[in-house]
Amino acid sequence: MTPVFANRIGKLKASAIREILKSTADPNVISFAAGNPAPEAFPTEAIAKISNEILTKKPIAALQYSITEGYTPLRDRMKAYLKDTQNIGRDFDDLIIVSGAQQGVEHSCKVLCNEGDTVICENPSFVGSLNAFKSYGVNLVGVEMDADGIKIEQLEKALTENPNTKIMYLIPNFQNPSGITMSLEKRKAVYELAKKHGVYILEDNPYGELRFAGEDVPTIKSFDEDGIVIYCGSFSKVLSPGMRVGHVTAPKEIIQKIVVAKQTCDVHTNIWSQIICDEFMKRYDFAQHIKGLQQIYKHKCQLMLDGIEKEFSPNVQHTVPEGGLFLWCTLPEGSDMMAFCRKAVEANVAVVPGTAFLPDEEKYSTTSFRLNYSTPTDEEIVEGIKRLGKLTREMF
Amino acid sequence: MTPVFANRIGKLKASAIREILKSTADPNVISFAAGNPAPEAFPTEAIAKISNEILTKKPIAALQYSITEGYTPLRDRMKAYLKDTQNIGRDFDDLIIVSGAQQGVEHSCKVLCNEGDTVICENPSFVGSLNAFKSYGVNLVGVEMDADGIKIEQLEKALTENPNTKIMYLIPNFQNPSGITMSLEKRKAVYELAKKHGVYILEDNPYGELRFAGEDVPTIKSFDEDGIVIYCGSFSKVLSPGMRVGHVTAPKEIIQKIVVAKQTCDVHTNIWSQIICDEFMKRYDFAQHIKGLQQIYKHKCQLMLDGIEKEFSPNVQHTVPEGGLFLWCTLPEGSDMMAFCRKAVEANVAVVPGTAFLPDEEKYSTTSFRLNYSTPTDEEIVEGIKRLGKLTREMF
């Protein structure tokens, strides 16, 4: 029987990044295509110690069914942590533990958007979230960015032209894929626009703690007195992505609906990993741990930037991120970016073509590609950038 | 801002079972309302041993991002296991690891059903799955069961009356909530009907291995030569539900779309728990472990049945399950079942009102309630059934 799929899913393709990730299984390929934390960033001994204790002393608690909202001690700890460190959470808010921030994004769309509703996002934006939105048949509208974040005038125009907009999806810190950080001024402007147009802001902040340069900028959620911001965070970049633990802070009514959606999806997030996250934060100096990660990524980012300055054609532009895992290179206007990416693979270096991050490949185009510096070793960064540099000098 | 939710989710309520589960936090209440494996059913020492080894010897593999399809050794092991033990899997099939069979059900609906399409299910059926279907705005049609499973004539009528049927959702073994097992004859009839009407069978089999009486009946998937059965299984009842590991076997094109759906939902299932499942099956005698579980549940089920025979009013009917975790009691026609359930809570015994399992509370009614024997202790079973029995003798 030839399956007839639901309209919402029929046209959706597997993420280009994940497909490239598979092809990079070749050990000869230097991959700048992933988004994995550095192997040295995992506090493996601490996790092993906590895990062993849990599974020896109270195994049933870690193995039995649990409640959809999440492990209560972790929820309480995260609420306090987000309030203390970022002034996130008002009396009208609640917090749910989810299976990675990805699930927070997917469920937010599921509970808020009917098919045909509009979601406005940065262009380019994170492919996983874009596919989550597409999987509910929404109309995706992309708004360009400057070096300090989304273009406010274009955003206002998009809101006016799409009165059925339900969600503005934004990654204000070290955006994936661009590495751009939104200024405080723009965060405030975005908030006012959302308020004016009756639209929710979905603030995705998986990299926020990985700032290694510049000054912290308050999250949009930190000034949410009106209950219009849904904030997604994650343990993936600060502890372990394989655990699949994230969290969503939003007005209670929205969290209640996300609980219902999650109940029908995976019942609850793996409970062992929730306990690990809680105990790690309780027993260890989390702030100190984060500082260690910042040093790792600062070093790797600088190494890549130094290589680019030295090796790349001066006609290739690039962003200079203040944190996170990615930087974004842009070839001269009119360049054949896909040809460059293919040649890179021939030279055994994998990058992600910018087209993967377009809200709609038919409506938008790009000559950019994404580089990740968190996963490769120092040697791979130096050698891979050398190879890419040679290509850019030959081609542009 | 007062949220306006998507149509698909606006009317959906939190599962009555989960709400009751929360209320049963009162330690004075004997709960027959859960669906948890018995605490003594967890191989806690083996899991602790495996976990400690993984996290000491190859921690990064257990903590890093992984691929959406699932941990390859576990996928290969499950394919071989399902083929060997149940003749599940043809050349046209593939297998994906999901975050519990619940996710298999939810994603199957997401990829196959548009809003308004029909899903046919047994009436009553598992509330978690019913809510997953409802969360995509499908038309749910319930078909009654006899002691040997779904009523075939009624099923055929439902198929004819609903030509937009996409999925028949069935739990052939020790059905939740009824405890009923579908006969081989009916499984074959159901398969032929699905084939004739071009409808997929979604076969949910979380309890299949927990048979403690009678003879094994082949799964519907075991005779699927036409690629029309989507088979969901789970480690929740045989290893640990807190781990959230399940699996789906279906034709490759369908698995590919489920991969896409899962990628946008939780990227991949917790990798630590996938490795635990794989290593447990590799290192331990899984068949022997299952036999141990069967003995636990056989004993608990018999204890509850003995109590019912001794204590309950003869006017209350009940099923006699050959496996699984549940039995189903039916009060005389016209009884006020909700009043009975409320009085039970007053007597500090929690049961789940049958209404929780109706495909549509406005279209269908019931005088039944569900009893779980896997979670309570022996003492609780004896005492709880005594209290319920007293109530039944007073009321019916």
Whether A65 contacts chain B with CB within 8 A? yes
Tell me what the mean pLDDT of segment A33-48 comes to: 93
Are the beta carbons of B37 and A64 separated by less than 8 Å?
Answer: yes
Phi/psi at A386 (5° precision): -60, -45
Q: What percent of chain A has pLDDT over 90?
A: 91
Give the pLDDT band of residue A74 (cuts 50, 70, 90). very high
Distance of alpha carbon B185 from alpha carbon B203, whole angstroms: 16
From the number of C-beta atoms within 10 Å of its C-beta (0-12, 13-18, 19+), residue B346 rates as exposed
| pLDDT score of A361 | 85
Nearest partner of A177 among A329, A66, A360, judged by Cα = A329
Whether A67 contacts chain B with CB within 8 A? yes
> How many CB atoms sit inside 10 A of residue A164's CB?
11
Cα separations in angstroms, A366 against A124, A341, A355, B114, B145: 9, 13, 6, 33, 58
Tell me what the mean pLDDT of segment A3-32 comes to: 75
Are the beta carbons of A60 and B68 separated by less than 8 Å?
Answer: no
pLDDT at A258 over 60: yes
Give the pLDDT band of residue A26 (cuts 50, 70, 90). confident
Q: How far is A235 from chain B (nearest CA, A)?
A: 11
Cα separations in angstroms, B117 against B5, B139, B182: 21, 6, 25
pLDDT at A14 over 70: no
Cα separations in angstroms, A270 against A43, A83, A277, A286, B233: 19, 25, 11, 22, 17
Mean pLDDT of the residues in chain B: 95
Distance of alpha carbon A74 from alpha carbon A35, whole angstroms: 26
Give the pLDDT band of residue A25 (cuts 50, 70, 90). confident
Instruction: Show which of residues 330-349 on chain A sit within 8 Å of chain B, judged by CB atoms.
Output: none
Q: Return the H-helix or E-strand segment holding A116.
A: none
Half-sphere exposure of B35 (CA within 13 A, CB side): 25
Q: How far is A197 from chain B (nearest CA, A)?
A: 11
pLDDT at A13 over 70: no
Nearest-10 Cα torsion for A279, A282, A287, A293: -10
| pLDDT score of B8 | 87
Domains of chain B by start residue, with CATH:
7-43+288-395 (3.90.1150.10), 58-283 (3.40.640.10)
pLDDT tens digit string along B275-332?
999 999 999 999 999 999 999 999 999 999 999 999 999 999 999 999 999 999 999 9
A7 vs B273, residue with greater confidence: B273
| pLDDT score of A17 | 54
B42, amino acid identity:
F
Cα separations in angstroms, A187 against A149, A190, A219, A224: 9, 5, 8, 11
Distance of alpha carbon B104 from alpha carbon B262, whole angstroms: 9
Instruction: Show which of residues 92-121 on chain A sit within 8 Å of chain B, judged by CB atoms.
Output: 99-100, 102-103, 106, 110-115, 117
Residue numbers of chain B with a pLDDT score lower than 70: 13-23
Whether B13 contacts chain A with CB within 8 A? yes
Are the beta carbons of A15 and B110 separated by less than 8 Å?
Answer: no
Q: Residue A113 is encoded by which pair of tokens?
A: 């958007």
Tell me what the mean pLDDT of segment A260-268 comes to: 96
At A104, is the secondary structure helix, strand, or coil?
A: helix
| pLDDT score of B18 | 57
Among B1, B52, B98, B280, which would you mutate to test the A interface (most chain A Cβ atoms within 10 Å of its Cβ)?
Answer: B1
pLDDT at A127 over 70: yes
| pLDDT score of B21 | 59
Q: How far is B315 from chain A (nearest CA, A)?
A: 35
Among B265, B276, B325, B375, which would you mutate to test the A interface (most chain A Cβ atoms within 10 Å of its Cβ)?
Answer: B265
Whether A361 contacts chain B with CB within 8 A? no
Q: Residue A163 is encoded by which pair of tokens?
A: 């009165």
Chain B neighbors of A9, CB-CB under 8 A: 110-111, 257, 260-261
Chain B neighbors of A43, CB-CB under 8 A: none
For B261, which of A9, A67, A254 is closest by C-beta distance?
A9
| pLDDT score of B12 | 78
> How many CB atoms sit inside 10 A of residue A357's CB?
28
| pLDDT score of A154 | 98
Chain A neighbors of B254, CB-CB under 8 A: 3
Are the beta carbons of A18 and B263 separated by less than 8 Å?
Answer: yes
Chain A neighbors of B3, CB-CB under 8 A: 112, 200, 251, 253-254, 257
Among A197, A201, A257, A270, which would you mutate to test the B interface (most chain B Cβ atoms within 10 Å of its Cβ)?
Answer: A270
| pLDDT score of B361 | 85
| pLDDT score of B26 | 80
| pLDDT score of A23 | 62
Chain B neighbors of A34, CB-CB under 8 A: 65
Global model pTM greater than 0.90: yes
pLDDT at A28 over 60: yes
Q: How far is B154 from chain A (nearest CA, A)?
A: 24
pLDDT tens digit string along A269-286?
999 999 999 999 999 999
Half-sphere exposure of B183 (CA within 13 A, CB side): 10
Whether A42 contacts chain B with CB within 8 A? yes
Distance of alpha carbon B5 from alpha carbon B137, whole angstroms: 13
| pLDDT score of B22 | 62
Distance of alpha carbon B353 from alpha carbon B340, whole angstroms: 9
Task: Quote the distance between the C-alpha of residue A236 and its chain's center.
Answer: 10
| pLDDT score of A18 | 58
| pLDDT score of A271 | 97
For B102, which of A4, A227, A267 is closest by C-beta distance?
A267
pLDDT at A16 over 60: no
Give the pLDDT band of residue A19 (cuts 50, 70, 90). low
pLDDT at A241 over 80: yes
pLDDT tens digit string along A297-324?
999 999 999 999 999 999 999 999 999 9
| pLDDT score of A102 | 98
